[in-house]
Chains A and B, each alone.
Chain A
Amino acid sequence: MTAAQHTAARAGLVSCEACRLLSRPASTSTPGFCRRCGEKLESRHHASIETTWALVIAAAICYIPANVLPVLNTTSLGETEADTILGGVAFLYASGSWPLALIVLIASVMIPLGKLVALVYLMLTIQRGSIANNRERTRLYRIVEIIGRWSMLDVFVVAFTVALVQLQPLTSVAPGAGVLFFAAVVVLTMLAAESFDPRLIWDASGGQQADHG
């Protein structure tokens, strides 16, 4: 038995999300507000699992049109070309610049998908009350939270390209519907990661399996 067994929730205390001040809640049902910074106190995020599920499902739905619909419509000399993300990857790979293709593939296809899979995995394990690999799951959550924003790179590139390449009679570039869905995926996964409460990972084990694995 170590001190890690004692958790704030078990001791009937609440930690402030903003300033980390440990305080006693006003009541068990409504913890009240932080005395120091005024943040609303919550032992665990309100409806964390449910919200995260909703956002993850929404992101998963958006992920399909984001990859199927074109993200960029290039009109060059009267010929319009519609490019999807995977089409761009294939084009980059076919044209020989496979490192670029790899970057785009990882940043735009694999990371959003990986985030969705990771969040689903985390929530399933929490709901099943799994106590295994708590530390790894926490690390996974940290990675998801950190890299999430980088997926906006694609949206950024599209926005830049559309703004820069406007040689009207010769070439013009317009954003496709896919980029909207792609941005939605990124935003929704970021929100999902935000609404997910990593403390839930440890609730099932009660801190006992902290050193396991």
Chain B
Amino acid sequence: MADAPDLDALPQAVVTRRKRLRISIIWIIPLLAAMVAIGIAIQRVRSEGPTITIVFKGAEGIEAGKTFIRYKDVRIGLVSAVELSEDYSRVLVKAKIAKHAAGLMVADANFWVVEPRISLSGVSGLSTLLSGNYIGFQAGASSESQSSFVALDEPPIITDQPGRQYVLKTPTLGSLGVGTPIYYRRLNVGQVTGYALTPDGKSVDVTVFVHAPYDKYVTTNTRFWMVSGVNVTLDADGVRVRTESLAALLAGGVAFDLPEFATHGEPAPSNTEFALYRYRGIAMKEPDPVERRYVLHFNESVRGLSTGAPVTLYGLPVGEVTDVGLDLDAKTLVFRPRVAITFVPDRLIEQLPPGERMRSGVMMTEMSPEARLRMLRRIVDEHGLRAQLRTGSLLTGELYVAFEYFPDAPKVKVDWTRDPLELPVVPGSLASIEAKLGSILTKIDKLPLDAIGNDVRSALATLDKTLKDANAFVTRVDTELVPEGAKTLDELRRAIADAGRVIKNADATLFSKDSPAPQDLRDMLQEITRAARSVRVLVDYLERHPDTLLRGKPTEKP
């Protein structure tokens, strides 16, 4: 039955409806696994902070997966990869930062490798000896987030302490280094945190940090200077030795203070630039607002005259030497030492009595250039103001320039139109002594010493002859006159003896008993004695009877 369909081959209908999409309970397992895995993934992604790239010069001690980034000793990130830059010159360190620290990754944040460091100013990073190097972090103040940083070569010493940072400009770094202490009145108040050559390469910018209570002493008028070890200054004023502290002696340092003349001023804001002076003396020198420049041409050696040597007026400093060099006279082709000086009127005014300072100061500083020139001309021409080189210290041979009035100085022609003006000079004290000695020697040289010698010799010969004559004369006197004298003396002695005999005879004649003369004398004396007695009697009578003189002697009564 080919046309009869095979009914048995037809599918049998089922009683219950076939379950479609019947899902086994076993599918809960993968669902669960997926949920857990996705949950962990979400948690991971959510807890994951940004990945940053830090550029290092070298990857010393940095290992992917092992080196942490720490901020205040809290791990805020982990190095995930260390690779070389495209030009192989630097190391790119990729680090994953924890989510909670993501906000710290701002433009001015700093990174550096913390490793053990031992320097004169201290030991740091000792913990890294056990734990290995880690990357230090310093939060920035910016709000601009960033994902690429350049690491610092040196760790910043100061990280989060209150205080201020300043920039000191200096031509050379000297013995300063990171960590060099900052002193204020010999208190250690801060540190050098870094230094960098300026882009033009002509000076060094030293960044210093002054801790909080002391930063208020850094004002706009503050001066900074180096206290690098021992500071020995040798100049026309002598030898000066200064040192700040033992640590500074070994490691150097920076000190600051307010100059005495300056007012306290406003506290300097952060990153204020200051000049870093070589030593205290320069730093504390008052600024010289008005300076006049002059040139001096000496005709003597300027050896010992250095830049900065004082310029004095009657021994008081009024300026300083700014340059010492040579000038070539174009016409004569003769070299002459050229000394450029500055004259600071303020210093001159300081020497005046206080009452006159103001008036003179205004007069001197505000004088018109023409008037000043006239005044200078009068001083130079009429009073003889001259510059002179003098020795400041015989020990070191340092010279200085002294101005004094030399009324007797020869008149000189000064070109008053030149700028800077050339002032006339007189030879220095030493030079003038040399000149005088020279002239004396010349005069001595000119003396007719030969002729004088001959004269002296002939005079001596004459003298010799004279002395010989005298000697002969004396001999003759001796031989001829002395015997005569002896004979004369003998006769004289005989004459004296005769005279003695004559006197003796006279004496015997006059005073012998037998002669009449003594009797006569005796009689005469008796007579005189009697007369004197009579006179006495008369006087006595008269005393008793003064009336006798008038009435006469009364008759004697019977």
Contacts and interface: CB of A to CB of B under 8 A. Distances in A.
Contacts, number: 53
A69 B130 CA distance: 27
A51 B24 contact: yes
A79 B29 contact: no
Interface string B108-138: 0000000000000000000000111000000
B30 A57 contact: yes
Given A54-B26, A55-B30, A58-B30, A77 B131 contact: yes
A47 B131 contact: no
Interface string A37-68: 00000000001001100110111011011000
Interface string B11-49: 000000000000010110111111011001100000000
A58 B32 contact: yes
Contacts of B26: 47, 50-51, 54-55, 195
Which label, helix, strand, loop or mixed, suits the secondary structure of the B interface?
helix
Nearest to B41: A65
Contacts of A51: 24, 26
A78 interface: yes
Contacts of B40: 65, 69, 177
Contact of A87 (B32, B65, B68): B65
A78 B132 CA distance: 11
B17 to A, nearest CB: 16
B305 to A, nearest CB: 66
A188 interface: yes
A64 B65 CA distance: 20
Contacts of A50: 24, 26-27
A65 B40 CA distance: 8
Contacts of B33: 57-59, 61-62, 184, 188
25 contacts: A47-B24, A47-B26, A50-B24, A54-B26, A54-B29, A55-B30, A58-B30, A58-B33, A58-B34, A61-B30, A61-B33, A61-B34, A61-B37, A62-B33, A64-B37, A65-B37, A65-B40, A65-B41, A77-B130, A77-B131, A78-B131, A79-B66, A79-B131, A177-B40, A181-B37
Given A61-B33, A69-B40, 13 more contacts: A55-B29, A57-B33, A58-B30, A58-B32, A58-B33, A62-B33, A62-B37, A65-B41, A77-B131, A79-B131, A81-B65, A181-B37, A184-B33
Interface of A: 47, 50-51, 54-55, 57-59, 61-62, 64-65, 69, 77-79, 81, 87, 177, 181, 184, 188, 195
9 closest A-B pairs by CB: A58-B30, A58-B33, A57-B30, A54-B26, A61-B33, A58-B29, A51-B26, A54-B27, A61-B34
